Amino acid sequence: MTRDIAEVPAVEVIVTVAVNLMSAAAVKLGLTEDGDQHKDLDEARKLVHALAGLLDASATEISSFHAAPLRDGLKSLQLAFREASAVPDEVGQGPGEKYTGPVYG
C-alpha cells in the first residue's frame, strides 16, 4: 500500500533519503557481496559528501535517536573510503569532512 506523501513526517523522509545515500555509497565503495564489481570511488565520494551535507543540514530537525546511527554509518563510510583509496585524502579533506570535521581511523 502506497502512502500519500502528505502523510509522511519530514523526519521519515530525511532518514529514508539518508539510508538510500548510505546504501548507494556502500555499493560504490565495494562493500556489498558483489564487491569490486560496482566499485567506483568517484561516485562514492559524491554520495558520502551528499550524506554528510544532509545530516549536517538536518541535525537540528531530527532527534538524536535518528541522527546517532546515521552519523555512525557516515563515519564508517568515510573510513571505508579512506581505506579503499590508493592515495588517501589528507585528514580533513575526505568526502564529507567539510561537514563532519576530520575522520581518523
What would the pLDDT profile of 23-79 be if each residue is shown by its tens digit?
999 999 999 998 889 999 999 999 999 999 999 999 999 999 999 999 999 999 999
The parent domain of residue 43 ranges over: 8-84
- Residue 89 counted as domain residue: no
Distant-in-sequence, close-in-space partners of 66: CB < 8 Å, separation ≥ 6: 11, 14, 15
Q: Are 44 and 95 in contact (CB under 8 A)?
A: yes
Whether residue 92 is contained in a domain is answered as no
The total number of structural domains that make up the chain: 1
Please state the pTM of the whole predicted model: 0.92
Decide if 35 is inside a domain: yes
Domain-located, residue 95? no
Contact 36, 81 (CB under 8 A): no
